[in-house]
């Protein structure tokens, strides 16, 4: 009934019950303005929290980045060496193209300059610059390192060098303005553009300057190296990007968005000089000296001892050479004349040592020459000569051709000294061979003996001052001597008897043949 319905609807309790039992009908709808404001505040709050937690740029940062795109957003690292000269690296990364554009400058006193991504050399993408063949321009080489050795040029990365690059007017500074296209990723890694502490490494080359237009030219070992980090969010732009411009009012570059240099180390390249010193010592001094001892002292023991020392020194040099070969691209393939000849000489040294030992044992046992002894006799001097030649090839291979002049001078002086010693030794020996004709028995078979009754007399007493008749009676006893024993006769066995001047016979025993 209508009255009942009206009464029920006007009862406050009924209204309360209807709210309880019909919640949907009782829902309060907020105004559209209030909903929009709350949603926006929530989104802003969520964005700010996400930016703090995950490094996501906020709207303010995005606006600042877009404002800086006109001047190419960048982070800049500056390192001052001990001389107060600066290495500068300013980087811009473009998200739309993946290009890395940078300004890099460094003192030309170093043979090259390089900056790479990552915490270590392995898998790092590096940008290495050195002087071109003209001496006024710059060669920029993108390289990837596989370890702590010379990085290898990669042709898969295309770099564009701007005309502003080159040597400074006073030839004191490398200046490189360039872009590496699509270089935020490479075969062995990538660059995190959202990182505020992206790791980088740098190095300055030592030794002789690298002068070449080839991007694959060999470079010397670094003299100084270290690491730093960069804020890639600051360095990244949404637009095309470009080479960063000076960020200081006076038109220079100052550190911005980058850490100071850490892990600085002064490096030394001791390997090649040690290899050269050891090998020259072995082939120019020790081996020739061992051969000289055999001819001057006629001592097999001294000869063998010195030559074994030479073998040890030479193999230390070979080991150092093999290690050095792993450090440089041009030596990893073992295709150079110096390396090929060096390996052949190493094998020849092993053969020479083996033949010498075996020949000596067989000779002591059978008292007969051996074919190995003949090979040993001629192989030794050949090894020494080729080893000396290989030393000159080594200096050229190491880009030290100017060292060949003093090297040749030392070789000639050593050769002349040893030749003079051998010459005077032979001359002295020839004089001793002639001595028995004047009455001496020093070179008679079996050692010093006196044949005949009278002792040898002085030259004046025998020949006379006026050059009279020459009596030969003191040599008459030699005519009655039988011939010497055959070669290889057993030592200690009497072969014949000899009657001396007093009429007493005694056994004559030959000396052992060694």
**pLDDT tens profile 409-451:** 999 999 999 999 988 888 887 766 655 544 443 333 334 444 4
Q: What pLDDT is stored for residue 389 in this prediction?
A: 97
Residue pLDDT, tens place only, 142-183: 999 999 999 999 999 999 999 888 888 778 899 999 999 999
CA atoms within 13 A on the CB side of 269: 19
Torsion over CA: 437, 440, 443, 445 (sign)? positive
* Residues in the chain, total: 514
Any domain includes 476: no
Into how many domains does the chain fold? 3
Instruction: Supply the range of the domain harboring residue 61.
Output: 32-71
Q: What pLDDT is stored for residue 459 in this prediction?
A: 39
Could you tell me which residue, 340 or 469, shows the higher pLDDT?
340
* Mean pLDDT, residues 241-254: 91
Task: Tell which of 231, 266, 301 closes a domain.
Answer: 266
pLDDT at residue 464 greater than cutoff 60? no
Do residue 112 and residue 80 come from a single domain?
Answer: yes
Q: Taking a C-beta distance cutoff of 8 angstroms, is the pair 145, 152 a contact?
A: yes
Could you tell me which residue, 480 or 143, shows the higher pLDDT?
143
* Mean pLDDT, residues 9-35: 38
**Measured distance CA(498)–CA(510) in Å, rounded:** 13
Do residue 155 and residue 256 come from a single domain?
Answer: yes
pLDDT at residue 487 greater than cutoff 70? no
Structure-token match 């795109």, residue found: 69
Do residue 226 and residue 339 come from a single domain?
Answer: no
Q: Taking a C-beta distance cutoff of 8 angstroms, is the pair 313, 322 a contact?
A: no
Q: Taking a C-beta distance cutoff of 8 angstroms, is the pair 415, 423 a contact?
A: no
Nearest by Cα to 396 from 407, 385, 382, 383 = 407
Nearest by Cα to 117 from 95, 94, 98, 100 = 100
**Measured distance CA(456)–CA(199) in Å, rounded:** 94
Task: Tell which of 20, 51, 71 closes a domain.
Answer: 71
Alpha-carbon radius of gyration of the chain: 45
Do residue 115 and residue 244 come from a single domain?
Answer: yes
Minimum mean pLDDT among 204-213, 317-326, 403-412, 444-453: which range?
444-453
Q: What pLDDT is stored for residue 442 in this prediction?
A: 34
Q: What pLDDT is stored for residue 18 in this prediction?
A: 35
DSSP state of 446: T
Do residue 210 and residue 321 come from a single domain?
Answer: no
pLDDT at residue 46 greater than cutoff 80? no
pLDDT at residue 114 greater than cutoff 50? yes
Nearest by Cα to 291 from 418, 427, 423 = 418
Alpha-carbon separation of residue 452 from 8, 441, 469, 474, 486 (angstroms)? 172, 11, 20, 6, 25
Q: What pLDDT is stored for residue 485 in this prediction?
A: 57
* Mean pLDDT, residues 373-379: 92
Nearest by Cα to 147 from 166, 124, 168 = 124
Any domain includes 61: yes
Q: What pLDDT is stored for residue 508 in this prediction?
A: 52
Structure-token match 């110096």, residue found: 338
Q: Where residue 219 sits, what CATH number does that domain have? A: 2.60.40.1210
Any domain includes 469: no
Q: Taking a C-beta distance cutoff of 8 angstroms, is the pair 101, 244 a contact?
A: yes
Helices (H) and strands (E) in the chain, counts: 13, 18
Q: Taking a C-beta distance cutoff of 8 angstroms, is the pair 164, 187 a contact?
A: no
Any domain includes 463: no
Task: Tell which of 432, 457, 491 closes a domain.
Answer: 432
Helix/strand/coil for 175:
strand
Q: Taking a C-beta distance cutoff of 8 angstroms, is the pair 506, 498 a contact?
A: yes
**Measured distance CA(472)–CA(439) in Å, rounded:** 9
Q: What pLDDT is stored for residue 295 in this prediction?
A: 85
pLDDT at residue 28 greater than cutoff 90? no
**Measured distance CA(501)–CA(452) in Å, rounded:** 5
* Mean pLDDT, residues 291-295: 89
DSSP state of 258: B
Do residue 185 and residue 290 come from a single domain?
Answer: no
**Measured distance CA(29)–CA(19) in Å, rounded:** 15
CA atoms within 13 A on the CB side of 369: 7
* Mean pLDDT, residues 204-215: 90
Phi-psi region of 53 (alpha: psi -120 to 50; beta: other; left: phi over 0): alpha
The angle subtended at Cα 369 by Cα 364 and Cα 375, nearest 5°, is: 115
Could you tell me which residue, 191 or 474, shows the higher pLDDT?
191
Any domain includes 483: no
Do residue 150 and residue 261 come from a single domain?
Answer: yes
Q: What pLDDT is stored for residue 338 in this prediction?
A: 97
Do residue 253 and residue 281 come from a single domain?
Answer: no
Average pLDDT, the chain: 79
Do residue 188 and residue 247 come from a single domain?
Answer: yes
Could you tell me which residue, 321 or 477, shows the higher pLDDT?
321
Do residue 415 and residue 285 come from a single domain?
Answer: yes
Do residue 236 and residue 276 come from a single domain?
Answer: no
Any domain includes 462: no
Res. 458 pLDDT band, cuts 50 70 90: very low
Any domain includes 155: yes
Do residue 96 and residue 236 come from a single domain?
Answer: yes
Q: What pLDDT is stored for residue 428 in this prediction?
A: 80
Any domain includes 62: yes
């Amino acid at each position: 009934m209508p009255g009942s319905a009206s009464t029920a609807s006007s009862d406050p309790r009924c209204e309360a019950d209807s709210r309880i039992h019909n919640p949907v009908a009782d829902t309060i709808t907020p105004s559209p303005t209030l909903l929009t404001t709350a949603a926006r505040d929530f989104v802003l709050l969520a964005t700010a929290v996400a930016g703090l937690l995950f490094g996501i740029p906020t709207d303010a940062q995005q606006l600042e980045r877009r404002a800086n795109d006109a001047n190419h957003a960048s982070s800049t690292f500056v390192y001052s060496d001990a001389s107060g000269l600066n290495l500068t690296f300013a980087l811009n990364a473009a998200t739309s193209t993946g290009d890395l554009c940078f300004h890099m400058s460094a003192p030309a006193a170093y043979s090259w300059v390089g900056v790479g991504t990552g915490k270590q050399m392995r898998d790092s993408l590096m940008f290495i610059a050195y002087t071109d063949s003209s001496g006024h321009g710059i060669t920029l080489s993108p390289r990837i390192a596989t370890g702590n050795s010379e990085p290898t040029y990669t042709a898969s990365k295309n770099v564009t060098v701007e005309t502003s690059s080159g040597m400074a007017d006073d030839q004191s500074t490398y200046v490189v303005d360039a872009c590496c296209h699509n270089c935020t990723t490479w075969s062995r890694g990538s660059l995190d553009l959202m990182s505020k502490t992206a790791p980088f490494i740098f190095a300055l080359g030592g030794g002789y300057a690298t002068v070449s237009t080839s991007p694959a030219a060999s470079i010397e070992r670094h003299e100084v190296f270290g690491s730093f980090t960069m804020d890639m969010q600051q360095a990244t732009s949404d637009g095309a990007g470009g080479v960063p411009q000076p960020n200081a009012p006076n038109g220079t570059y100052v550190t911005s968005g980058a850490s100071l240099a850490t892990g600085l180390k002064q490096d030394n390249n001791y390997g090649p000089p040690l290899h050269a010193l050891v090998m020259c010592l072995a082939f120019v001094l020790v081996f020739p000296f061992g051969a000289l001892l055999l001819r001057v002292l006629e001592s097999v023991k001294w000869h063998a001892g010195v030559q074994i020392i030479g073998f040890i020194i030479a193999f230390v040099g070979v080991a150092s050479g093999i290690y050095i070969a792993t450090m440089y691209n041009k030596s990893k393939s073992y295709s150079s004349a110096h390396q090929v000849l060096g390996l052949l000489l190493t094998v020849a040294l092993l053969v020479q040592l083996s033949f010498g030992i075996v020949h000596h044992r067989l000779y002591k046992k059978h008292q007969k020459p051996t074919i190995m002894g003949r090979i040993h006799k001629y192989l030794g001097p050949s090894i020494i000569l080729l080893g000396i030649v290989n030393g000159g090839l080594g200096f050229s291979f190491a880009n030290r051709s100017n060292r060949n002049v003093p090297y040749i001078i030392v070789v000639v002086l050593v050769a002349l000294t040893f030749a003079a010693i051998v010459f005077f030794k032979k001359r002295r020996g020839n004089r001793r061979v002639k001595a028995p004709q004047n009455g001496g028995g020093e070179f008679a078979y079996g050692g010093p003996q006196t044949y005949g009754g009278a002792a040898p007399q002085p030259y004046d007493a025998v020949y006379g001052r006026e050059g009279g008749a020459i009596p030969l009676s003191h040599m008459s006893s030699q005519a009655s001597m039988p011939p010497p024993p055959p070669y290889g006769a057993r030592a200690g066995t009497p072969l014949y008897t000899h009657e001396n001047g007093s009429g007493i016979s005694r056994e004559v025993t030959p000396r052992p043949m060694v």
